[in-house]
Structure 1
Amino acid sequence: MSALLAPRLMFPVTAPAPATEPVRVCFMIDRLSRAGTETQLLALIRSLDRSRVQPTLVLLDGEDDLSRDLEPADCPVVRLGLRKLASANALAAARRLRTFWQQCRPEILQVYFTDSAYFGAPLAKMCGIRKVLRVRNNLGYWLTRRHRLLGKLVRPFVDLTLTNTDAGKQALVTRDGAAPDDVAVLENGVDTSRFKRFMLPDTSKKLVKVGCVANLRTVKNIDGLMRTAKAALAKHPQLLFEVAGEGEQRAQLERLHADLGLGDRFVLRGSVSDVPGFLRGVDIAVLPSHSEGMSNALLEYMAAGRAVIATDVGANAQLLDNGRCGVLVPSGDEAAIVSAIGALLANPLQAAGYGAAARRRVAAEYSREAMTKRFEAYYRNLVSRPA
């Protein structure tokens, strides 16, 4: 970090733009993947009205095939090849980034994840970028003391923090000491056009599929879902559980799968590129997470018109309209999920009603178009404020 603070890197790169020109926004993230934050970022970049916002994208690393394949075609992208901040090529990466910013002259830098914040925020201020925004869409469940200390050190270089839920803002204020006026809530959206082909769930069938879309990480509680499945199958043998997602817990979950004797009644499908297609085959969609911000998976469940069961964490209650569009259960309460599944099997009309209500709610309040307009208006208002 000390190398980045060297005075010779202080090169102003922006000038105030006329109000009629598009706002120049540079997004910065470690690399691209199909995880929730990266998916939302790519969706935002692709849907921005270029007459209102002109985006660019910086990847700290991004040299792997998946990240390259996901790069947006209509947005300038630079890969810095920087896998570790404390490395010999950090200064060269900083110089390359400075040159890129001299060319594209961003007015706003929006950074995601810790390394991008630590690297990009101080350098942006030295280069004269007017506003630095840091995005944190989780509730900070994973933060260590080291992360919190580094967060305090980088805070003077960050003008505003963006989060996607009121719960996220509350966590930033109470746990991280952020000033309320320095945190803005901009909610996610889902591309409802991908979910045009759908039928309401039918829990009266001889085979009822229970689906989950999640990365295989501890916070997503797929091990808890496996134990739930074991108990639910003992009461309702017509069930089939499927999980779409990949992650570092796969080996552990495969061992648990064998220990529980779930056989072909619980399937780890791995990464699924066609999430709408996967959800079309699901009747009940479960989100068993221990912690969430605004869950992209839950938005997709709702757009697909599924009967949803979700833990009451993060923005889940807000999205499900406090239980009017799906069933909310306490986090970690496997018995409550088993009970909720049983209730949906016993009342197919209620299951279909939840699916229809969820789909209407997403279309009205959480579409991709609504999300994009929120960000566009925010950016334009931000650069119109006095420096």
Structure 2
Amino acid sequence: MTDWRWALRFRRLLDEEHVDLIHAHEFDANVQGAFVAAICGIPLVATVHGKHYFWEKCRRRLAYRWVSRQATMVAVSEDLKQFIVENVGACPERITVLYNGVDVPMPPRQAEVDACRKELRLPHGDQIVGVVGNLYPVKGHQYLIEGIPAVLKKCPNTSFIFAGRGQLEKELKDQVHRLGLDERVHFLGLRQDISTILALLDVFVLPSLSEGLSMAILEAMMAGKPVIATRVGGNPEIVLDGETGFLVPPRDSQTLADQLVTLLTNKEQAAQFAARGKRRAEGQFSLQTMVHAYQSLYDKCLRSNP
């Protein structure tokens, strides 16, 4: 949004609708929202979800520093808050941490799960390892693929599914072909039935190189799946290493493979991780918990801006 005429139209809309508070998300909306909120004299909640776009250039860092002074800035993890403080120069007292939340899903019917397994031609009796996330470099899919041969040596009846689309699709498929994994790795593209995909899984993996607070991990935990994730961003604030899943270093295919083998060969431990993770997600990362937290923040902002 570089057209500042949008900001003027937005101001007129706020006046017409008698808006008392603005809630914006990510860099462009947060900056322009802060500008309009300052003109209108109403509070702004500015939520930041990730580490991209705003810290590489001085002008953007200055813009976000100004936003942090004009608005109530929200980071979706403690890790992200610290990143903003260190790289933007924002005052930590001006940043509130509110975790993302996901809805508690209705479990799919077994007939739907069985039909999906048949559609994807997953061998009967195979354990299923899955990733949900767009095929972008930051998601680190290549490091999971690199570790698959080591997993198959010890757990040969394992299939891997990748749900998502993106710029690395051809490159990742080429990597799979070079490693001779075509029969064991399935690229599903964009799916609308993620709850059914998750129900298929024995283990959920997220090998990301960077995260704010992963909705994919939360959805997997809500679905009652053990999680292996990289120790980046807000992941350690969701996944308790050794209690609800495993955390591994980013770009470490061998450790990722070793932990996958651990869960695939230890059903009891995997089930314990899954049950604890589900309780943790329902207790601390539900959609209702997030909504209540934002409602409280809105009330606080409005009380301080009579």
TM-score (norm 1): 0.70
What aligned pairs does 1:120-199 form with structure 2 within 5 A after superposition? 120-126=33-39, 128-138=40-50, 140=51, 143=54, 145-146=56-57, 148-153=58-63, 155-157=65-67, 158-195=70-107
Deviation at 1:196, TM superposition (A): 7.3
Query: How many aligned positions are there?
Result: 292
Show the counterpart of 2:203. Answer: 284
Matches of 2:299 and 2:94, distance apart in 1: 17
Question: Structure 1 residues 238 and 142, CA, compared in 2 at 3 Å: closer, same or farther?
Answer: farther
- AA aligned to 1:384 is R
Percent of pairs with identical residues: 29
Q: Quote how far apart the aligned CAs of 1:224 are.
A: 1.2
Q: Residue type of the partner of 1:307?
A: P
Structure 1 match to 2:275: 356
- C-alpha RMSD of the superposition: 2.2
- Kindly state the Cα deviation for residue 351 of structure 1 after the two structures are TM-superposed: 0.9
| Contact 1:133–1:160 (Cα < 8 Å) also in 2 | yes
Are the equivalent residues in 1 in contact too, given 2:105–2:195 (CA < 8 A)? no
Superposed counterparts of 1:251-266, under 5 Å: 251-266=170-185
Kindly indicate whether the alpha-carbon contact (under 8 Å) linking 1:212 and 1:287 is maintained by their aligned counterparts in 2: yes
Deviations 1:215-258 (A, max 9, x none): 11111101111112233223322110001111222232233233
Give distance in 2, aligned partners of 1:340 and 1:153: 42
Q: Corresponding residue for 2:232? A: 313
- Work out which of the residue numbers 254, 264, 284 in structure 2 matches 1:365: 284
* Secondary structure, counterpart of 2:105 in structure 1: helix
SS of residue in 2 equivalent to 1:194: coil
Q: Say which SS state the counterpart of residue 62 (structure 2) adopts.
A: helix
Matched ranges for 1:328-343 at <5 A: 328-343=247-262
Q: Which amino acid aligns with 2:162?
A: V
Question: Retained in 2: the 8 A contact 1:317–1:323?
Answer: no
> What's the CA shift string for 1:200-224, capped at 9, x where partnerless?
xxxxx84100001111111110111
Q: What whole-Å deviation, never above 9, does each CA across 1:118-168 have from its counterpart, x for those lacking one?
A: 433223322x14212221122x2555532x422313543532210111111
Match of 1:42 in 2: none
Secondary structure in structure 2 of the residue aligned to 1:277: helix
Preserved contact between residue 204 and residue 225 of structure 2 (Cα < 8 Å): yes
Cα distance per residue 1:339-366 (max 9 Å; x no partner): 1111112211111111111111111221
Label 1:171 to 1:186 Cα distance change in 2 as closer, same or farther (>3 A).
same
Structure 1 position 193, deviation (Å)? 3.3
Unaligned 5+ residue runs, structure 1?
1-83, 200-204
| Residues 1:94 and 2:4 are matched in the alignment | no
Q: Residue in 1 aligned with 2:16?
A: 103
The structure where helix makes up a greater share of residues is 2
Structure 2 counterpart of 1:273, from 171, 187, 192: 192
369-378 vs 222-231, which moves further: 222-231
Structure 2 gaps of 5+ residues are 114-123
**Cα deviation digits, residues 35-63 of structure 1 (max 9, x gap):** xxxxxxxxxxxxxxxxxxxxxxxxxxxxx
Which residue pairs with 1:246 in the alignment?
165
1:152 partner letter = L
